């Protein structure tokens, strides 16, 4: 019996449901790239900052799409928000990620924060605090592969690959080729992690 990648992953997680597979993720990123270019009127002032880990990979993929469409490179970096989180004392210690800004920095640029899943909004709030310490962008926008709802803060994404209504007891797992050897987004029950 031959399984698609998402089916194989789903079998590893018996209650999992594949909501995006590789081609779906690629289409979503192409669409988001077009939306970014349309909204910012070209790639001239854009800086893409991915939130580790998977947000960094997604930011690089968006940059590749934009270069393909515009014929110009877009600066890409990463923004670790670990030390800005409001739940540091509530969770086990986490390894620090890397913050890497493009050589020209972020001052006066349109910064597009890129993350894999938008949930409560707390990670994005942490990213905004971190950005504040690094410079003064012209504007900050947010791109998320998946928006699962349940916001605890008044934050919304400017660009969304897929709106995915979930219950709080469900988990959204993003797999990316660069990190996990495959591309997929799964919806799991909490007891099936």
| pLDDT for residue 88 | 65
C-beta atoms surrounding 164 within 10 Å: 19
Residue position matching structure tokens 């939306």: 35
| pLDDT for residue 11 | 47
Architecture per CATH, domain 5-86+98-192, reads as: 3-Layer(aba) Sandwich (3.40)
| pLDDT for residue 1 | 33
Task: Report how far apart, in Å, the C-alpha atoms of 104 and of each of 8, 33, 108 are.
Answer: 43, 22, 10
Closest CA to 186 of 19, 32, 65, 27: 19
- For the chain, the structural domain boundaries read 5-86+98-192
Per-residue pLDDT of the chain (193 residues; tens, 9 = 90+): 334 554 445 445 567 999 999 999 999 999 999 999 999 999 899 999 999 989 999 999 999 999 999 999 999 999 999 988 877 666 665 667 789 999 999 999 999 999 999 999 999 999 999 999 999 999 999 999 999 999 999 999 999 999 999 999 999 999 999 999 999 999 998 765 5
Count, residues in the chain: 193
- Interatomic CA distance for residues 82 and 97, integer angstroms: 7
Cβ atoms of residues 128 and 161 within 8 Å: no
| pLDDT for residue 15 | 77
Q: Where are the alpha helices (DSSP H) in the chain?
A: 5-12, 22-40, 54-70, 122-134, 177-180
Residue position matching structure tokens 């493009």: 102
Strands 139-147 and 159-163, sheet pairing: parallel
Sequence-distant contacts of 164-171: CB under 8 A, at least 24 apart: 164/19
Quick check: bond before 150 cis, omega within 30? no
């Amino acid at each position: 019996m031959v399984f698609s990648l998402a089916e194989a992953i789903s079998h590893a997680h018996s209650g999992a449901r594949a909501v995006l597979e590789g081609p779906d993720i690629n289409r979503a990123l192409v669409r988001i790239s077009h939306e970014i270019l349309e909204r910012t009127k070209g790639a001239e002032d854009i800086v893409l900052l991915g939130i580790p880990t998977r947000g960094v990979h997604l930011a690089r993929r968006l940059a590749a799409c934009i270069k393909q469409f515009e014929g110009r490179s877009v600066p890409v970096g990463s923004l670790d928000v670990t030390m800005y989180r409001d739940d540091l004392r509530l969770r086990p210690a986490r390894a620090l990620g890397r913050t890497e800004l493009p050589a020209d920095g972020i001052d006066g640029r349109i910064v597009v924060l890129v993350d894999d899943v938008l949930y409560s909004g707390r990670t994005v709030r942490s990213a905004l605090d971190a950005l504040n310490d690094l410079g003064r962008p012209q504007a900050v926008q947010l791109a998320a592969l998946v928006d699962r709802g349940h916001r605890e803060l008044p934050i919304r994404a400017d660009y969304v690959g897929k709106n995915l209504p979930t219950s709080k007891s469900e988990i959204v797992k993003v797999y990316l080729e660069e990190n996990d050897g495959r591309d997929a987004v799964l919806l799991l029950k909490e007891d099936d992690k």
